[in-house]
Structure formats: structure tokens, C-alpha cells
Amino acid sequence: MKNCIFCKIVEKKLPANIIFEDDYFLAFHDIKPAAPVHLLLIPKKHIESINHTDKNDEIWLGKMLLLIPKIAFDNGCKPGIDGGFRIINNCGAAVGQEVLHLHFHILGGFVGS
């Protein structure tokens, strides 16, 4: 999408502190972190939100969700019962989605996490 900030990051037209990339997904540090670890995981394909997915998307969505723990633990979140991380996905402006490109916030590094 022409004016999507995340699409511009995927195309390397805007800088980002990228911490993971493969053929389908990109993860990078949030520029306004709300936690000691605050990462964003996005599909490279532009999709406005989870509300714009359907049954045809279940395989790549599953792969995306399975990446989250790996990305979290590789970037400072502590695994195990005494650790953890939070996942946030906003679907629409009314609930705080600022960039209309599907993304998951991965937050961690809180005391005890």
C-alpha cells in the first residue's frame, strides 16, 4: 500500500531496527516503546488488520503466531514460568490501531518477566 509506514519499512524505504526477517515476516523495535522489550511483528504482505483475514490466511497466520515466542526470547524476554511476554493486536482505530497494517506488539522485560 502506497502510504503505509510498515510497507515502507518492508521495502526499506524507511529505517527500522530490524531484529528478524524472512520471506514472509519482519520484526523490529517499536519507535515508542511501552516496555523494556517492545517489538512489532508484521507480515510483509499488506493486510489492514486481523479483521481482513479469512480461512485462506490460516497457514501464514499460524506461522506468524509461532514466531512470536522465538522473537520474544531471542530479544530479551525471559522464558519459563518466571518469565514471559505480552502480545497485543489492535483491530481498528477505535481500539488504538494507529498503523493500518496487521501487526502484533510483543512486550516484555517487566519485573519478573
Amino acid at 32: K
Residues forming the active site: 103
Lookup: cell for 61 = 497466520
The torsion defined by the Cα of 82, 35, 41 and 55, in degrees rounded to 10, comes to: 70
